[in-house]
Amino acid sequence: MEQSNFIKHICQQAISVCKNTKLFPSLMIAQACLESNYGRSRLSSLHHNYFGIKASAGWKGDSVIYSTQEYVHGKIITVKQPFRSYSTLTDGFADRVRFLQVNKRYTINGVFSSPTPEEQAKAFLKAGYATDPAYPQKLISIIQKYNLKQYDL
């Protein structure tokens, strides 16, 4: 799927699940773009997991194992990890919001109190959402490139 078509495909879902959460739809869209390679990853296209959410020990739903790259001590390594699997795009986006709300590290590190999508991107890194130190800048670049702030109603 072309990048702009992918954004059109997910934008209403992002707007819907972000409503009344203090999450920015622009950032959620950028995260889905980056994490799923614009919907091209197998995890997103087959399992509706657009955010790379892992299936921790407490996860009660379906899961699937995939290789993933992580930054450990400044180096990229490849590891196999269980990831959450969803039946629909709606289920994947809704669970992503629940995941953020129940994991206190996102509140503690300012995800829900960030005044801008750019600050929220930095808060995600601070909270340990991603291991890539360039994660916030990658998201900000996607927001700017595709004018995603238009979805922050």
Catalytically annotated residue among 2, 62, 70, 91: 70
Determine phi and psi for 137, rounding to 5 degrees: -65, -35
Distance of CA 13 to the CA centre of its chain: 13
> Is 70 among the catalytic positions?
yes
> What is the distance between the alpha carbons of residues 124 and 111, in angstroms, rounded to a whole number?
6
Catalytically annotated residue among 62, 91, 95, 152: 95
> What is the distance between the alpha carbons of residues 119 and 28, in angstroms, rounded to a whole number?
13
> Is 152 among the catalytic positions?
no
> What is the distance between the alpha carbons of residues 19 and 60, in angstroms, rounded to a whole number?
26
Q: Which residues are catalytic?
A: 70, 95
